[in-house]
Structure 1
Amino acid sequence: MSLRKHFFSVLTIVFSLTFLQSCIIGLPSLAGTKADFEEKLISGSDKDKILIIPVEGVISDESRESSLFGSGTESMVARIKESLKFAEKDPNIQGVILKINSPGGTVTASDIIYQEIQKFRIKKGIPVFSAFMDTAASGAYYIAMSTDSIGAHPTTVTGSIGVIMQGINVKEGLDKIGVKDQSITSGSNKAMGSPLIEQSPEQKKILQSIVDGLYDRFFQIVKKGRPNVSEARLKEICDGRIFTAEQAKKEGLVDFIGYFDDFQIQLMKHPKYGGHRDGNPRLIIYQRGRGKVENIYQTMDSSEKQFQFGIVEKLFKQNSNAKFFYLWDL
């Protein structure tokens, strides 16, 4: 099959899927979650509780799809906001552990979660720890800067402190098969970042200035969260590189290395921990049932989300929704 025929075959599939998606938009959604939490006991027997909040996967304020047909749950930002709200009302919760296993995510989602945890710590007055698992990179490390202490699993990979705007350019390939961009813009920089045009030096300079500004914000967050590391050293190591747990501890990017039991013990030793430090607090997580959740980070009714395939988005991951990321992406 020639390159031209192959290209148009792909377009036919995409348009067919898009048409099918629009035809079933009136079907009821399978997505949605219950606004109230159900508390699940992991271990322990005391009155005091330590809440485990998972931060897993790519950090985003978008709802997650859980199947081919697009049914899913609330966004990570909405779920963490709701978890902190419920924890704030429970007087028996004496500490929180963020169980982090994430390569990072979008700049805004990472920053929102950071701010929500900061507000919770100030209002509740209890210790909040980060527990790094496989990966705690970029935006995930950004979030950890809001906590009182950071523990890493011995095999954790962390770091990747930096910003990336992902993108590809397909103009040359499209030119070869006779496909041309016919976009009409109001200014010379309106379509910058488009995969259909070559970037000019001015456009690259504009985009680089945005990346630099977002990086500076990240750097200041790390500087505030790691006061024992000199600014000069931070400037050397905050260049996007990744670290093993041992390397991160040596550089002062994490506080201790251990396993989950060690994270719990360290939290109970913290001065802000109000329970019995030699006790057996209940480790709990929050679970949800079916229904919907609404807070300021997810106000879309589950019936509005509708039945979505999400296949078109999966075929063209690099789409027109250009975003800036705190993300380690291989």
Structure 2
Amino acid sequence: MRIALRLAAVLSLFLLNACAYVNANLTPPLRPLEETVLEGEGRPKILLLDVTGIISEVGREGRGLSAARPSTVARVKEALRKAEKDDDVVGVVLRINSPGGTVTASDVIYHELKGFRERKKVPVSACITGIGASGGYYIAAAADRITAHPTAVTGSIGVMLRAFNVEGLMGKVGITEKAIKSGDKKDILSPFREMTPEERQILQGIIDRLQGRFLETVLARTGNRLGRAELEKLADGRVFTADEALQAGLIDRVEYLDDVIAEMKKGLGIEEARVVSYYRPGHWRGTIYSGEAAAPETGLASLGGDLLETLSSTEFLYLWKW
């Protein structure tokens, strides 16, 4: 009995000592994208590429058992790089379900898509399935054609900069803020004081220039039929149903995702093609309507964290205000 107790004690000490040197990282490592076939057969491939949720250039680190998540910009660029190296990829369908995001992230993705089209020489179609507003529509303008599901919402052409003023609240609890600064504009957009008319004019000038860039992007899109004056009337931030957007000339057709794929095959002169998508190992996608399971930004419920994170920072936004 004593021998058994001593052995148990020694074993316990060994285990405790061993535990002190264990440094286990439970966060799954971020692995390269892999390809899965969603439907179809044959050698040619049509890539289904998602842009979902808030468009941002900021990713998330892995926490606990949750894997790290690349930013929208990084994920799209990685997918385009993989598709560009694949000679069997004959077209890309950009599936968009996004209210937009930061100006920079939207513009970078637009730039990457344009560069991909010019180098790869394959058709790119944008299909707005739910929401393709503001930055989501900005990105769609890089495609050869923009279509939308009958129930989709699009438009919201405009720029936004959010700022908060808590001066009154702090005054009620007897707190004041003192800023020592090198110039009187250094703390522009400070939440602790009222904005001056001159500061508002400065920021409005930036907003107007970014709005002008948005308009030029839409006017330059393939198949655009709008003049600048017509577009300016539509670019007051409002959203449109798919039918309204088609009538206004913001999109080219109202149709479902499978219709977009069928039209692309017809335009390429091929009867058979595999519809493929890229995914992170460990996440499964079964059909063309499967969401990107690896991206927590998909869906309204999970969108909240990204939305609050975006709005809590001081950034110029191509974003439809929820």
Give the distance between the partners of 1:216 and 1:229, measured in 2 at CA.
15
Query: 40, 54, 57: which one pairs with 1:58?
Result: 54
Partners in 1 of 2:309 and 2:39 — Cα distance?
Answer: 44
2:214 corresponds to = 218
- Residues 197, 173 of structure 1: CA spacing in aligned structure 2 closer, same or farther, 3 A cutoff? same
CA RMSD of aligned residues (A): 2.4
Q: 1:256 matched to which residue of 2?
A: 253
Q: Is 1:282 the counterpart of 2:279 in the alignment?
A: no
Change beyond 3 A, Cα 1:318–1:106: closer
Give the conservation status (yes or no) of the 8 Å contact 2:27–2:63.
no
Aligned pairs for 1:189-268 (under 5 A) are: 189-225=185-221, 227-268=224-265
CA apart distance, 1:262: 0.6
Tell me the secondary structure at the aligned position of residue 72 of structure 1: coil
Matched, 1:86 2:71: no
SS in 2 for 1:198: coil
Gaps of 5+ in 1: 1-25, 291-311
Judged with a 3 Å threshold, the aligned counterparts in structure 2 of structure 1 residues 182 and 327 are, in CA distance, closer, same or farther, namely same
The higher radius of gyration belongs to 2
TM-score in terms of structure 2 length:
0.80
* Mapped pair 1:111 → 2:103: no
Identical aligned pairs, as a percentage? 40
Deviation at 1:69, TM superposition (A): 8.5
Describe the shift of the 1:317–1:150 C-alpha distance in structure 2 as closer, same or farther (beyond 3 A). Answer: closer
For residues 112 and 316 of structure 1, do their structure 2 counterparts lie closer, same or farther at Cα, with a shift above 3 Å needed? Answer: closer
Q: Write the deviation string for residues 249-298 of structure 1: whole angstroms up to 9, x where unpaired.
A: 0011111111111111222233xx3xx43x121010011238xxxxxxxx
Per the alignment, do residues 165 and 252 of structure 1 end up closer, same or farther by CA in structure 2, a change over 3 Å counting? same
Q: Residue in 2 aligned with 1:152? A: 148
Confirm or deny: 8 A CA contact 2:28 2:62 kept in the other structure.
Answer: no
Give 1:167's match in structure 2, choosing from 160, 163, 169: 163
* Structure 2 spans left out of the alignment, 5+ residues: 1-22, 283-304
Answer whether contact 1:103 1:138 (CA < 8 A) is retained. Answer: yes
Are residue 177 (structure 1) and residue 169 (structure 2) matched?
Answer: no
Partners of 1:70 and 1:170 in 2: how far apart? 35
Paired residue type of 2:87: P
Question: Using the alignment, how far apart are the partners of 1:162 and 1:186 within structure 2?
Answer: 33
Give the total of aligned pairs: 277
What SS does structure 2 have at the residue aligned with 1:116? helix
Distance 1:31 1:174, change over 3 A: farther
Aligned to 2:46, the other structure's residue is in SS state: strand
CA contact (8 A) 1:130 1:147 kept: yes
Against the structure 1 CA distance between its residues 139 and 256, is the aligned structure 2 distance closer, same or farther, given a 3 Å change threshold? same
Segment drifting more, 81-90 vs 65-74: 65-74
**Structure having greater relative contact order (Cα 8 Å, sep ≥ 6):** 1
Distance 1:313 1:262 in 2: 31
Whether the 8 Å CA contact 1:60–1:105 is kept in 2: the answer is yes
Report the CA distance between 1:30 and its aligned residue: 2.2
Q: TM-score, normalised by structure 1?
A: 0.79
Query: CA contact under 8 A between 2:79 and 2:278: conserved in structure 1?
Result: yes
User: In the alignment, does 2:118 pair up with 1:122?
Assistant: yes
**Change over 3 Å in CA distance of 1:286–1:314 after alignment to 2:** closer
Task: Give a deviation string over 1:3-45, Cα, whole Å, max 9, x none.
Answer: xxxxxxxxxxxxxxxxxxxxxxx9958264213x211110001
Distance 1:29 1:103, change over 3 A: farther
Q: How big is each residue's C-alpha offset from its partner over 1:72-93, in whole Å with a ceiling of 9 and x where there is no partner?
A: 3111101110111110111111
Q: Tell me the secondary structure at the aligned position of residue 250 of structure 1.
A: helix
Query: How much has 1:71 moved relative to structure 2?
Result: 4.8
Which aligned runs of 4 or more in structure 1 are off by greater than 6 angstroms?
65-70, 312-317
Equivalent residue letter for 1:104: G
Q: Measure how far apart 1:168 and its partner are.
A: 1.3
Distance in 2 between residues matched to 1:313 and 1:95, nearest whole Å: 30
The Cα shift of 1:318 comes to 5.2
* Residues 243/313 of structure 1: CA separation in 2 closer, same or farther (3 Å cut): closer
